[in-house]
Structure 1
Amino acid sequence: MGLHTLAFKEWATHDGVTVSGEINQLRDKRLAIDAEDWLNTLLTAQTTREPLLPALGGLPFALKKHVNEHLEGFRNAGITPTFVFNGLDLACRDRAAIAKESRIAAASLDEAWRLYGESKADDAVAEFGKSCTYGTYHILRWLRSYLHIEGVRIQTAPSAAAAQVVALHNENFADAVVGSMSCLLYGASRVILSLDWETKLFVWAEKPKCLAKLNLSDDQFVDLCLLSGLTILAPPPIPEIELNPAPLIAARELLARCNNDGLLACDSLKNDAYKLLFQKARAAVTHALWIDHTGKPRTKHGEVTPNNLHDVIGQRLPDDIYYYLSRGVVSPRVLNWRTRLEVFEVAPLDGGSSRPYQTLVSQKLAPLRTRSMALMSRSLHNYYQYTDVELVCWYEMDRKKALDVPDALQSSQAADRWHVKEDVIARSAATAGLDMQRSPLYAAVSILSQPGIPEKTITESLPQPATGTYTTRQELLGNATFRFLEDRGYINNDHTLSAWGKALKVALDHAAKTEYLDIGDDHREAEEAIFMAFELHRLDALNSLNLFPATSYQGAPMRGSDTDKANTLLLSRIACLGSFQHGEIGFTGPLSRHLLAYHQMAAATRGALRDLLEMHALSMLLKGAASRDLTPPDYSNLGSDLPLLREPDLGLSLVVKSYLDELSNEKRTDITKWFNHATDIKSDLEKAWEMWGAINAGIQAADSGIVNNDTKTTFRKADEWLAQKLKQAAAATNGT
């Protein structure tokens, strides 16, 4: 979508339908901003793009800097922004359209890796850059939270963000809208396309000028927008538009050949499937969905809507869910699955041709998807409680797998026994020297390890009336975390720690003792890395096996003996769970498709766990556990407080692999020369060893019923190997 957005902006600039003015003209104004369009602009603009993002995963290294520059610009200009994120997909965004985008991106990334393998670095970087907005779900999740933490107004639309920003303007909650052509499609008379804080200028496009330049009416302009594929609604219909560097002009020519009638244009394509998508998209514009200031979803024409509107904008959910979505308690992904009755897994950044990743998403993570949807479905209409959801994967589109969501409803009721009050959480966490908001996972297992506390956390039934149980930030976060950890098997039914919970606590205690928990700016990074290692082990994915084909997945450890390579691989895989200290500039350095493939397995697992956390929070709220006196920021705080928010990049894994490879090399090289913008490789390596030490401590302490002796031996020998390697490095004169 990012490149599509640029295509319209380039046309508008080239054809003279834009106007520029000084940003000072916007002083004291309120702007409603399409957040995804704004992010895509950052990810694709020449001055801010990081082309190697698809090779690294995680967040762009300079993203926070660019976001802060914009926020400072708004503050200095006296502008109040409201960032609006896309909500649920509209029905016209069908699986075929999503699969097509995924295939195009995967083919481009495959070509980039081929070029990289042939040492054609410049060509590879250029090819990677073509997909720099692909797979940005986790970036949007982080951006939503970061903006809220920075005190910026955020909102998630019930569906299209463009429709919501136009509604905010129409209802006088905003003085202008910032976005793309989609805003004009939904009725805006003008849209700000860019704000340049260096030149102090902003540029906007006016709809009357667009209509005059294109010689079209309002309705014909809507047809043109949809045919062009430059909006979030409908894909481009034919290659002559999709592959054209000027898709708007190509679509205009098609429309002109068909008497400026969109339906006639669809008929001329002789593609019934596309025509149906076009008609749905047309109806989605006519009956645009938005949420009012009370949190209630509305359509453009109110009650005058067709009976089958759900075929256009999707199945209806309760108003409360749209409100919690708008405040950022939950992301749209699970809601999309539940309303579309389908989980569609797309290819990961590495291409997804490896069997281990395919098995992970099609089999091992499927129960997590089921649990997440079951938690939400308990509070929904009977239609959802008795209707199943199917799983479809990109590599076998014709095969569907039932997820048995209705069968999982009863097993989700254990979560309702958690109603832990503020005094228990705060007092017990303080006894352990912890803070729930700072370290929710560690605080939760530490609280329940204290004598007499587990029984105080059990409530068989809520007091009547049920509303108002939770009134504080700690209660909301704590109870969501307790429910999640019980669901994942770290807590027993009597709320004592299970064998997994005890092993996790040993690992976290070790991290606290070595002060690993306090390393870095993100205080949750350490506990989340340790937790993720346990989860990957439980999925049989934390090992040194050669999971990916060497011919196409280059970048595996290559120095030393087979033992050296295996141990290097195990430590490098664990390192992908931590962050990398890098300058606020695009990455330059060695890449590894092999390590990226494992990183994507970890990322898919993290995403599935975060989904489950959000659904526990949502289920808790839908059951009336929270006080009605909570404010909108309170709900946004909950969304930001929940663990597993940020996905680490591959940088630390690349550093560890490079360093250990060189320790197994007869002639060692100083790897700091390979990572030009790394800020402190020495401390990054020390952090990686501390991470390994904590995880190994938990593995060794685990009951043999959950971690077998072979695994313990593998980890113990790897630990001894690492200690020997580091000892040799310390004694060598050419250390690094």
Structure 2
Amino acid sequence: MGSNALAFKNWAVSENVVVTSPLEQFRDRRIGIDAEDYLHSLLFAGNREPLLPALGGQPFTLKKRVGEDLEGFRAAGIEPVFVFNGLDLACKDRISILNEGKKASTILNDAWNIYDQGKGEEAVNAFGRACIYKSYHISRSLRTHLHREGAQTQTAPYTAAAQLAYMEREGLIDGIHGCASSLVFGSDRVIFNFDWDKKQAVWIALQKCLSKLELTREQFTTTCLLSGSSILPVFPELDADTITVPKMQAARGLLKTVNYDIDSLLRQKDPTYHDLFYQARFALKHPVILKSSGEVEPLNWKSGPSDVHAFTGQRLPEEIYYYLARGVAGPRVLNWRTRMEVLETPPLDGGNSPAYKDLVQKKLRPLRAQSLGLMTQSLNRYYQKHDVDLACWWNEQNKIPLAVPDKAEPTKAADSWNVKAEQMPQSSVANAENFSLVYAITSLSNDSEAKATVTPRNAGSTVHMRDLNEARANIVWRFLQDRGYLNADHTLSVWGKALKAALEQALSNGAMSDSRTRTEMEEAIFMAFELLRLDVLDKKQMFPMPPYSGAPIRGSDNDKSNTTLVSRVACLGTLQHSAIGYTGPLSRHLLAYQQTASAVRGALRDLLEMHACHMLLSGTVDRSLHGVQLTELGTSLPLINEPDLGLALVVKSHLDELSQPADKRQDITAWFAHAEDISGDLEKAWRLWDAVNAGVQAAESSIMNSDMKKTFRVADEWLKQKLERANAPNGTA
């Protein structure tokens, strides 16, 4: 949707159908913002970051750009309300989703081929063509950042544009900042941009657009749908590389050839798209919105068809839409449940490795099923009786049942966590008030105190958790028990003890001395253990070369394999980087590993969110918590932000150079032009490695075999020798 929205805006500017107004006219106004369109504008326009798909993680400029806009709104006296897209409508079908993934993979594969040929500038432009692919984690981070900055946020039941159009009609907002989708859903005007420097707003009026195109409103809607929108992919014939004019113009020309007989055109050219098109038209006529009263229902539902689910998808309880609206959970698991399918699409590296395919098809399957099972417990019998299939892009017809009904029975383990504030156990290194993964694990070190937290909720109890810290603690403890770090009696399992050893090493070696990096480090350590448990954190060659260029290349085979392992751990941390697009070396090999970790992190975050929803739906947490409290709950749970590849690239480059003779080494700081503190980041990476290795060595043999311990021990000794020799007066390796 992002590139099509930008194309429409560019067309509107080039055709001179936009209007500029003084910013002062919007003072004391409440403006609804289509958050997905806003994010895509940040990624495509202005200070864009074309190498984002080659790095993964978050855009380096995102917080700065958002901060500038929020300050602009405050100075102009404008109150922004950011609305995110919710569930996919039925017209966003699996074929179009897979086509989007395959198209992006082709673009990115070509970009990597160009990069490997040494054509840097051409590669940057090629990567930039796919910079919004796989942006779900960025949307999640954006919402968290907006909330922490005090901005109002909400998620629509389905389409943000439909929700914004409703809010405008009801007087809940005074205008819409978005794209053509808002016009399609019934708005008469939409703001494209606020220019803080020029103190003006740029917007478009529907009537001026209709006059320029010589179209009726109905014809305009048809043209917009065919050219691609937030609810319907672009008509395939208009998506060809041979189309050189703006898609709006191309769609209008195509419709003129058939005298705007859209039904005849689609039946002749693409019967499948014909059905999707009419599903989209029904969705426009009867959009499902969250009303100011809290009800979720289609507009004009009394005059609508009886099979609304045919164009919206299967309905969920209104309570779940409310938790979605407030950010307790994202739409991903809910989409899987209503579509009855988990559809895996290619990662940023292309996913052309047996290791990644095995991960998403087999190793993450139980985790997906557990998340869906938690959600399904609170749904009606229709969902409890219907399974969810897993389908993967390389063989989408081979569907694998997840056995969700088997996971949907209430679990006594989860329901044994109802720990109130006065029952919170003590920890010598962290406190309950500032809840963290460190506290969650270390507070259960004493077996007797841990067992005292077994607090099953009595049947019919009306006592609810009303404190956010209570709720957050119990959610995370339930999650950790699900993941095998806690036993049924709430004591630390063998995995929990190994994780505790790693966290305590990080506390003692200074990795967590900086409050700014504490969350980053504890989550990185936790992720390392999750990757170890899935057997994907080692020094094995996981990604074939070619096409996976950028693996360690210096020194002996031992140097290369140890550099690989240490760099993979570094993938779990982040690089301190200026708020500007990245320039520096790339590695498809390390990106493939970063995407492996990203898939695991996303699946774990899904499980956390489903535990939060389950506790609310079951009445364990007070349902009367107001919206801002619920948003605070969702944004304060772990694993929100996905690390970029920058730290791993710095570590790999540094270790590669240390594996060369001293007289041939280069200073890598010159390679990373906008890194803020390479020496500090390297020290952080060594401390992270030290903590993970300490946990591995402390693990019992029942969970960590001697070969794995030796792999880490040998790599640790090698690393220490490299660093000691590099720091010696003569610097010899």
TM-score higher than 0.5 here?
yes
Are the counterparts in 2 of residues 438 and 523 from structure 1 also a CA contact under 8 Å?
no
CA contact (8 A) 1:439 1:523 kept: no
The verdict on how the C-alpha distance between 1:443 and 1:303 changes in structure 2, with shifts beyond 3 A counting, is: farther
Partners of 2:223 and 2:251 within 8 A in 1: yes
The alpha carbon displacement at 1:735 in A equals 9.2
Q: Which residue of 2 aligns with 1:684?
A: 681
Alignment of 1:235 with 2:233, yes or no, is yes
Aligned mates of 1:527, 1:624 — CA distance in 2: 30
Match of 2:721 in 1: 724
Q: Is the 8 A contact 2:34 2:177 kept in 1?
A: yes
CA distance in 1, matches of 2:267, 2:412: 51
User: What secondary structure does 1:697 align onto?
Assistant: helix
Deviation at 1:256, TM superposition (A): 1.5
Determine the structure 2 residue equivalent to 1:43: 43
In structure 1, distance between residues paired with 2:433 and 2:161: 34
* Aligned pairs (5 A) from 1:697-736: 697-733=694-730
Note the C-alpha offset of 1:439. 4.8
Partner residue in 2 for 1:369: 368
Q: CA deviation at 1:732?
A: 4.3
**SS of 1:517 mapped into structure 2:** coil
The CA deviation at 1:461 is 3.3
Q: Look up the equivalent residue of 1:443 and give its one-letter code.
A: Y
- Residue aligning to 1:445: 441
Q: Give the secondary structure class of the aligned counterpart of 1:599.
A: helix
Whether 1:508 aligns to 2:527 is: no
AA aligned opposite 1:555: G
Instruction: Judge conservation of contact 1:223–1:261 (CA < 8 Å) in 2.
Output: no
Give 1:577's aligned residue: 572
Provide the C-alpha distance between the structure 2 equivalents of 1:436 and 1:362, rounded to a whole number of angstroms: 38
- Work out which of the residue numbers 521, 534, 548 in structure 2 matches 1:553: 548
* Partner SS state of residue 574, structure 1: helix
2:261 corresponding residue in structure 1? 261
SS at match of 1:131: coil
Unaligned runs of 5+ in 1: none
Q: Is the 8 A contact 2:323 2:613 kept in 1?
A: yes
What is the rounded CA distance, in whole Å, between the counterparts of 1:288 and 1:81 in structure 2?
Answer: 23
Q: What amino acid maps onto 1:678 in structure 2?
A: A
Name whichever of 300-309 and 359-368 sits farther off.
Answer: 300-309
Range with bigger deviation, 322-331 or 411-420: 411-420
- Give the CA deviation at 1:437: 6.1
Indicate if the aligned counterparts of 1:224 and 1:262 stay in contact, CA closer than 8 A. Answer: no
Mapped partners of 2:379, 2:114: distance in 1 = 50
Structure 2: any 5+ residue segments left out of the alignment?
none
Could you say what secondary structure the match of 1:192 adopts?
strand
Structure 1 residue 424 displacement after superposition: 2.1
Give the distance between the partners of 2:239 and 2:507, measured in 1 at CA: 57
445-454 or 113-122, larger mean C-alpha shift: 445-454
Tell me the alpha carbon deviations over residues 557-596 of structure 1, each in whole angstroms, 9 at most, x when there is no partner: 0111111111000000000000101111111111000000
Inter-partner Cα distance in structure 2 for 1:301 and 1:465: 40
Distance 2:493 2:74 in 1: 50
Amino acid at match of 2:560: K
Answer whether contact 2:447 2:491 (CA < 8 A) is retained: no
SS in 2 for 1:490: coil
Partner Cα separation in structure 1 for residue 546 and residue 646 of structure 2: 23
Give the 5 Å matches for 1:218-617: 218-229=217-228, 231-243=229-241, 244=243, 245-269=245-269, 271-410=270-409, 412-425=411-424, 428-429=425-426, 431-436=427-432, 438-462=434-458, 464-466=460-462, 468-519=463-514, 521-617=516-612
Q: Match of 1:536, SS?
A: helix
Contact 1:220 1:262 in 2 (8 A): no
Which secondary structure does the structure 2 equivalent of 1:410 belong to? coil
Measured in 1, the distance between the counterparts of 2:540 and 2:237 equals: 42
Q: Alignment RMSD, CA only?
A: 1.4
Report the Cα distance in structure 2 between the residues aligned to 1:462 and 1:170, rounded to whole angstroms: 46
Q: 2:656 aligns with which of 656, 661, 666?
A: 661
Note closer, same or farther for the CA distance 1:726–1:679 as it changes in structure 2 (3 Å cut): same
Normalized against structure 1, the TM-score is what? 0.97
Name the SS of the counterpart of 2:516 in structure 1. coil
Asked whether the 8 Å contact 1:437–1:641 carries over to 2, the reply is no
SS of the residue corresponding to residue 448 of structure 2 reads: coil
1:637 is displaced (CA, Å) by 0.6
Structure 2 residue identity aligned to 1:98: I
Larger deviation: 367-376 or 212-221?
Answer: 212-221
Residue 5 of structure 1 corresponds to which residue in structure 2? 5
Indicate which of 693, 698, 701 corresponds to 2:690: 693
Task: Measure the CA separation in 1 of the matches of 2:4 and 2:267.
Answer: 24
Instruction: Name the SS for the 1:283 alignment partner.
Output: helix
Q: Partners of 1:79 and 1:471 in 2: how far apart?
A: 33
Query: What does residue 165 of structure 2 align with?
Result: 166
Cα shift at 1:655: 0.4
Aligned residue in 1 for 2:104? 105
The DSSP-based 3-state class of the residue aligned with 1:533 is helix
Does 2:585 match 1:626?
A: no
Structure 2: distance between partners of 1:561 and 1:604: 31
| Alpha-carbon distance between aligned partners in 2 of 1:413 and 1:106, rounded to the nearest angstrom | 43
> 1:446, CA displacement in angstroms?
1.4
SS in 1 for 2:443: helix
- Amino acid corresponding to residue 668 of structure 1 in structure 2: R
Structural mapping, 1:19-38, within 5 Å: 19-38=19-38
TM-score by length of 2: 0.97
The within-5 A match list for 1:169-248 is: 169-229=168-228, 231-243=229-241, 244=243, 245-248=245-248
Shift of 1:499: 0.4
Which of the residues 641, 644, 650 maps onto 1:646? 641
CA contact (8 A) 1:438 1:524 kept: no
1:48: Cα distance to partner? 1.7
Q: Deviations over 1:629-673 (max 9, x none)?
A: 411111001111110000000000000000001000012111111
8 Å Cα contact 1:492-1:498 kept in structure 2: yes
Secondary structure, counterpart of 1:435 in structure 2: coil
Contact kept? 1:295, 1:322, Cα under 8 Å: no
Change (3 A) 1:732 1:663: farther
Deviation at 1:435, TM superposition (A): 3.3
Matching residue's letter, 2:6: L
Q: What is the identity, as a one-letter code, of the residue corresponding to 1:407?
A: D
> SS of the residue aligned with 1:524?
helix
- Residue 208 (structure 1) shift: 1.1
Could you tell me which amino acid in structure 2 is paired with residue 572 of structure 1? S
- Per the TM alignment, residue 303 of structure 1 is displaced from its structure 2 partner at its CA by 3.5
Cα separation, 2, equivalents of 1:514 and 1:617 = 33
Residues 316, 235 of structure 1: CA spacing in aligned structure 2 closer, same or farther, 3 A cutoff?
A: same
Aligned residues of 1:17 and 1:205 also touching (Cα < 8 A): yes
Cα distance change of structure 1 residues 378 and 413 upon mapping to structure 2, 3 Å threshold:
farther
Alpha-carbon distance change, 375 to 735 in structure 1, aligned in 2, over 3 angstroms: farther
Structure 2 distance, partners of 1:422, 1:305, is 49
Q: Give a deviation string over 1:250-288, Cα, whole Å, max 9, x none.
A: 11112122222322331232x211101011011110111
**Matching residue's letter, 1:485:** L
* 8 A Cα contact 1:164 1:291, kept in partner: yes
Aligned-partner Cα distance in 1 for 2:350–2:294:
40
Verify the 8 A CA contact 2:371 2:606 in the aligned structure 1: yes
8 Å CA contact 1:439, 1:524 repeated in 2: no
